[in-house]
Structure 1
């Protein structure tokens, strides 16, 4: 059972950064997502704003997630629009996994814990924007902690 997930990690290469994030997702036919995160890259961390949406859904959920970031060579390459196909069915609590990629070749393999009441199946588009002015010198944590500061 562990072989498929190990293969997926190998297919993306070695992670170059990590991302901790909290996202809110609301839908009534079309959906909208918003939230924030913290990118850990090169011995520093940076605040990240997340916005976007998808289609075909109903309800509301909150997602707490952590992602391994692949192919990030320059901080500015994290900025941009990420695409993924996503299906979610949350009643109370759930779990979700997604692989997102942008036009700079950056990939994010995210694992999320969801809470709320939400049913959605959509092509998801999320825009990430890093704020280099909020930089802190800190290493990647072993796992994400919430709330994100």
Structure 2
């Protein structure tokens, strides 16, 4: 049972892609969706969805709306609208979110908190913090031009 209602996730609006053969260390902050097919270490903050491909290895804490893991993830996952671990997926870490779908054959080791209120508040806090930082940057730019 897919939380994406049978839609092919690849066709969803992915705005950030870490391709096969690519290694990335750092933080991804995006208003869109993220697809990872390579190696990633750090943090992902997405206002859209996150997809981790079958050959991927990710060591990162991540926040997103819907998250699908077909590869391997080590870290805390905050999935506002649900997490799906496919039959090839492996997740080692805690999960916070409203739904959890674990396919037969998937591997999961960690704790689950399905308290949507705390999950949404963390998501909203991260996004409002980013908006404040952007506004402060704009204010600093406009005052320095005076």
| Bin for the TM-score computed over the shorter chain | under 0.3
Larger fraction in helix = 2
- Which structure: larger Rg? 2
TM-score scaled to structure 2, two decimals? 0.24
TM-score by length of 1: 0.24
Higher strand share: 1
